[in-house]
Amino acid sequence: MKSIVLTGGGTAGHIMPNIALLPSLKEYFSNIYYIGEKGKMEEKIAEKEGLPFYSAQSIKLVRGKILTNLRIPFVMAKGIKAAKLILSKLKPDVVFSKGGYCALPTVFAARSLKIPVVCHESDMTIGLANRISMPFCAAFITSFPKTSEKGICLGMPVRQRIFEGNPQIVRNLFRIQRPIILFLGGSLGAKAINDCLEKTLSALGDYNILHIKGEKSLRHQENYFAIDFVDNIEDYFAASDLIVCRAGASTLAELTALGKKVLAIPLPEGASRGDQVDNAAYYKKLGLINVLPQEKLTPYNLMSFISDAVFSPSPQKVYDKKTPEKIVQEIVSHCR
């Protein structure tokens, strides 16, 4: 049996697809390790999944902040040195990168040690870290067709537990009977959604609103429940009649795999590189989600879109459950 190092982090979108691959990876690899940044989300999730975790320092490019970015070469050099020491010790047969800035030291280190690197891009367009990593990759896998002429489109892996949600757990917990609208507002850049929801609550009395939003709570009312964090998101997905969310590739892949009604409010270009706008446009063209651009996000428009979406037919489920196995087979084919 072989060994593999997984890397990628910064946001859940760079981590959860790695977790989705674990059942298939364990059929081929006796040792599975994770390299990321200490104290970040990837460390917590890796430990929860029982993966040995190693840290290599990295730094994110902050657009528009020149002085901050001057530190990048120095921090990156330290990270690459640490990653080389880790990889020399672990001696993996292959490195699999999900992207994100914290993956770069491991990718560079693997390249210098002649360890094959396979990258996966979640979004419709290629992120900066993966764009930098691309020349070093033995294979570049994409979730969407036409993302890259050099890529192999095998799709986005979805965690098996997402298909095993129990809606009654959520309904019993909150003792609710009315249709449920789930707002996913705890991710980076969701303040606009949270603020608009607060102004719209009085018009949403026909629904139960579950709002997973992070630390600061809005006011409560009879049909509104603010939730800091959940570790059984599959139950909330299963219970919801409509889900209002950003347009991260991982979230949209999970929700369209379940055939859920979705109102996506993409993080606008300028606040990001525009990847969420592209992701949402792709799924909307297929008729799988509704999209409300943030520049048109008002209480009136939010209420109007919700009313249309709740009473629209459920979309078809779109997911090939063989996706994780296909990706893992591609990874295995490049082991040294």
Q: In this predicted model, what pLDDT tens digit does every residue of 278-333 receive, in sequence order? A: 999 999 999 999 999 999 999 999 999 999 988 889 999 999 999 999 999 999 99
Report whether pLDDT(23) > 90.
yes
- Beta strand residue intervals within 37-178, DSSP E: 53-55, 94-97, 117-121, 139-142, 152-153
pLDDT for 211 equals: 92
pLDDT given at position 40: 86
Nearest to 154 by CA among 289, 334, 331: 331
**Taken in order 126, 290, 313, 251, is the CA torsion positive or negative?**
positive
pLDDT value at residue 51: 97
CB 292 within 8 Å of CB 303: no
What lies within 8 Å, CB to CB, of 207 at 6+ separation is 178, 179, 180, 181, 223, 241, 306, 310
| pLDDT value of position 13 | 78
Residue 61 has pLDDT above 60, yes or no: no
Select the more confidently predicted residue: 269 or 243: 243
Residue 83's pLDDT band, with cuts at 50, 70 and 90, is very high
Pairing of strands 208-212, 180-184: parallel
Residue scoring higher pLDDT (220 or 167): 167
Per mean pLDDT, which range of 91-100, 195-204, 275-284 is the poorest? 195-204
Most confidently modeled of 6-10, 70-74, 295-299? 295-299
Q: What is the pLDDT of residue 1?
A: 81
How is residue 136 annotated by DSSP? G
CA separation (Å) from 144 to 11, 89, 91, 152, 163?
A: 19, 35, 32, 9, 21
Report whether pLDDT(256) > 80.
Answer: yes
Q: Is 34 helix (H, G, I), strand (E, B) or coil?
A: strand
Percent of the chain with pLDDT over 70: 92
Q: Are 102 and 75 in contact (CB under 8 A)?
A: no
Taking 80 as the threshold, does the pLDDT of residue 185 lie above it?
no
Contact status, residue 230 vs residue 185, Cβ threshold 8 Å = no
DSSP 8-state secondary structure symbol assigned to residue 303:
H
Q: Is the pLDDT of residue 124 over 70?
A: yes
Q: Is the predicted pLDDT of residue 217 greater than 60, yes or no?
A: no
Structural domains in the chain plus CATH codes: 2-157+321-332 (3.40.50.2000), 161-310 (3.40.50.2000)
